[in-house]
Structure 1
Amino acid sequence: MEKNKTGKYIQYALGEIILVVIGILIALQINNWNENRKNRIAEADYYCRILEDLELNEKLIDETSELISNKIKLCKELLSDLNKIPNDRSTILNKFVVALRQDVFVPSNIAFEDITSSGQLKLLTDLKLKNRLIQHSAFLNNILNLLQENRNVIIDRMDDFESMSEFGYQDVDYLKRELDREHIALLPKNNWTNDPNNPIFLKFQDNLIVYIAMLIRQKQHLSNLKKEMQEPIELLKDKKCK
């Protein structure tokens, strides 16, 4: 201080502080840039994975709809077979078991569920597309609930028969292979398929009509879902995942 060097020391110290601050700011900027770059890569990856899920679901819808169409055709054949008297109860019930098998539509929604459950939805910066994907997820869940309701109606109808042995379920091939003649002899011999006035005949015929109606509704729900998917698919193809 006696040699008048105080000013130089202060200038030197300020210069060091400024350099340190500039260095920190540059480091923070580089870190932010790197984080943004990683986020944009992750965002693009999510868009492509979501698109893959949607395109896979299109194929699953087409395959499930074709299976449903085959079941509708089989149920219509059953209606005709039932009303061709005399008929064979075993043949009718074996066809019915095939028609009754439920082909459950299980969509692939892994990517969107992953990004929402992990709290990374904020990575999607295209607000229009993000909102559209959220709407699609809600629509998909609603369709799945409607499809489940249809299946419940079918299951409830089948449970409506008071006696499955009276109905003749023992005539189905996999049960006939397991039951021997002694067990079969213990069961009712109700030949209801050849009696149009029999309550079981009437109920079975009615259930077939309801089943066909539920199958038609399933196809309509899947068709609506496929139509609803087209906009998010196009947005992803055109803007985000080429």
Structure 2
Amino acid sequence: MIKFFRNIRHRLLSEGKTGKYLKYAIGEIVLVVIGILIALQINNWNENRKQNMRSREYHQRIYEDLDRLTKQGDNLKSNADRVLTSITKAVALLESKKELTREDKKTMDYAMIWFSRTTYQLPALSTYEEMKSNGDLNLIYDVKLRNQITDFYNYLKQVEKVYDKISMAIEDDYKVFSRYIRTYVNPEALSITHDYDFNKMSEDEEFINTFSRLATHWRGYAYFLKIVKQRGDKIQTEFANQTN
């Protein structure tokens, strides 16, 4: 094709048709420019198509991350509520100093087993972290939605710090609990049991006061998990609307 156009130019020059040659050369340049513009347009369209596909994929993955997080958060909150309830009842039993019934014993056993299990790990928003690392947050085209997921991500990081502080506070008081609580582990079944002296615990006001503060700590766990669930559900709905 290039040889064909070159032959035409040579023929026009050899025939002395300079004016036609210039017009033809200009026309050829225009055709080349148009071809380049069309190629650029096609390339831009293709890149936009790829970006839109990546954006939809990211939206779907963030939705799935939020779904895992909110479901796990809901399970953790249910457990935190049970632990909080058992601790509250255990404190009342300690204050009453009455002999434990079979049901009271179950309540105390549950509280003794669970009060120190404060390792609460929520699933990470791994897709958001990937987008942030790759500089792809702009593929969340809705600016309001982008700000919401960013704020939620930062909130989760703050919650993790709060949980670390709560765990440390419980560990700092563990020397008081160790006076009357002994832990046993079955290496074969990998089960854990606790032996405790209820009578001595009920006579120790410092122990009761320290143990009662656990309710505040576990209330913190339950409260923040509740907020995580509420905010996560709301943003998950927004991403579902964007994906569909």
**How far did residue 224 of structure 1 move?**
1.6
**Residue 21 of structure 1, aligned match among 15, 33, 39:** 33
Matched, 1:157 2:168: no
**How far did residue 77 of structure 1 move?**
4.5
Whether contact under 8 Å (2:86, 2:111) holds in the other structure is yes
Who is 2:138 aligned against?
Answer: 122
Matched, 1:172 2:183: yes
**How far did residue 143 of structure 1 move?**
2.1
Specify the code of the residue in structure 1 equivalent to 2:200: N
1:55-103 CA distance string (max 9 Å, x none): 221111110011112212332353355454678xxx9689524332224
Whether contact under 8 Å (1:136, 1:228) holds in the other structure is yes
Structure 1 stretch 100-109 or stretch 47-56: which is displaced more? Answer: 100-109
CA, structure 1 residues 35+44, in 2 after alignment: closer, same or farther (shift >3 Å)?
Answer: same
**Residue 54 of structure 1, aligned match among 58, 66, 74:** 66
| Length-normalised TM-score, structure 2 | 0.76
Matched, 1:105 2:121: yes
Structure 1 stretch 136-145 or stretch 214-223: which is displaced more? Answer: 136-145
Specify the code of the residue in structure 2 equivalent to 1:235: E
Who is 2:153 aligned against?
Answer: 137
Who is 2:193 aligned against?
Answer: none
Who is 1:194 aligned against?
Answer: 200
Q: Counterparts of 2:236 and 2:15 in 1: how far apart (Å)?
A: 77
**How far did residue 104 of structure 1 move?**
0.6
Matched, 1:221 2:224: yes
Q: Counterparts of 2:14 and 2:46 in 1: how far apart (Å)?
A: 50
1:134-157 CA distance string (max 9 Å, x none): 122122222222222222211222
Name stretches of at least 5 consecutive residues in structure 1 with no aligned partner.
178-190
Specify the code of the residue in structure 1 equivalent to 2:184: D
Matched, 1:42 2:54: yes
- Secondary structure in structure 1 of the residue aligned to 2:115: helix
**Residue 212 of structure 1, aligned match among 210, 215, 221:** 215
Who is 1:75 aligned against?
Answer: 87
Q: Counterparts of 1:102 and 1:8 in 2: how far apart (Å)?
A: 87
Is the strand fraction higher in 1 or 2?
2
Whether contact under 8 Å (2:115, 2:214) holds in the other structure is no
Who is 1:184 aligned against?
Answer: none
Whether contact under 8 Å (2:119, 2:167) holds in the other structure is no
Name stretches of at least 5 consecutive residues in structure 2 with no aligned partner.
1-12, 101-105, 189-196
Whether contact under 8 Å (2:202, 2:208) holds in the other structure is no
**How far did residue 18 of structure 1 move?**
1.4
